[in-house]
Amino acid sequence: MHDPIEESTEGRPPQPSQTLEYETIDQPLSGTMLDTWEALRSDQARVASPFRDALRRFSRNWAALISLAVIVILVLAAIFAPFLHAQNPTNIDAANLLAGPSAHHWFGTDAEGRDEYSRILYGLRVPFIVSLIGTFLTVVVALALGLMAGYFGGVLDSILSRFTDLMFAFPAILLILIIVSLWGSALNASLPNGVGQTIILTGVFALVSWPPLMRFVRSLALGMKEQQFIEAARTVGTRDMTIITRHLVPNVWGLVLVQAALTVAYILGAEAVLSILGMGVQQPTPDLGYMLYDGAQYMDASAWGVFFPSLFLTVLILAFTFIGDGIRDAVDPRASD
């Protein structure tokens, strides 16, 4: 018998092969095509991450970027003040008392003939040290206590929450005044040149600033510990401390940074208030708050003594506030791209 398929094909002209063949292009790609191809490959190879997305959103916030640049410039100016046409902030020019801005004294002089420009540059050091280190200690304490209280719950949560409520019972400014009055003078005598007072102020602000942040972190941990990724980590036997450090901390760091920036702004203002009240760094160590207090007494004779310290203090507080707003918008997953 003959194969029906073979019979059906008899007498027909030969059919073209059904196999598709592609013609290879031996010519090299043009420059524009090559650039487009490389861009597509790089976009495909780039892996999206929350940190990169947050950094991209932050880079689009011009107010936050300008504020960050201002902070960096002022920090560098405070560190390298001796190289920025600054004089000794304690030198007295008896021929120029309460003088206005000039070529020799850019921001004028105070009632004792001291250069205001030099005193402002050196006076930025104490606010930066107190606010930045104080905020760092605040974040460490609040993050540790808040995550433990929110994650473990139970008796530990009750103890830490009641201790936080106890700290809230004392007015912050009153507690600062009490601590500085009791131990500030003794520490300042053993560590002169404002070092002792700076240390006591840093510790005091860290002591009174952590309770609000602790409550905030605790509330975040309470909401996250019931999420599926935390339950999955528990199911595979991951240790509690590993879950806290590798899963909870990366998910709260952005919101904690927002609160940290606002805490820096708060400490800057509170430190200036203490200096105005005479509880801050003692003279002759320059400080923006004391310069405001000293300049206000001679405001009728020279307004420059109040204008420049208040200008720098306002710029600092606004800059950290704008940075906090920029971080908040950057870490917000609902922010528009």
Closest CA to 78 of 130, 113, 5: 130
pLDDT of res. 150: 92
> Could you tell me which residues are beta bridge partners of residue 109?
115
pLDDT of res. 63: 93
pLDDT mean values, one per 10 residues, the chain (337 residues): 48 49 48 53 54 84 94 95 86 83 87 89 91 94 93 92 87 80 74 74 88 92 86 86 89 90 92 83 83 85 87 95 92 61
pTM value?
0.79
- Report residue 14 as tokens: 């030969």
Note every long-range contact of 302-310, with CB atoms under 8 Å and residues 24 or more positions apart, other chains counting: 302/98, 302/99, 302/100, 302/108, 304/100, 304/101, 304/107, 304/108, 304/116, 305/98, 305/108, 305/110, 305/111, 305/116, 308/107, 308/108, 308/116, 308/117, 308/120, 309/116, 309/120, 309/123
pLDDT of res. 34: 52
Closest CA to 325 of 66, 137, 51, 52: 66
In tens, the pLDDT along 249-301 reads 988 888 899 999 999 999 999 888 888 887 778 777 888 888 888 888 888 88
Neighbours of 288 (CB within 10 A): 25
From CA 275, how far away is CA 103, in angstroms rounded? Answer: 30
Domain 67-85+106-331 matching CATH 1.20.1090.10: the answer reads: no
pLDDT of res. 48: 56
Neighbours of 127 (CB within 10 A): 29
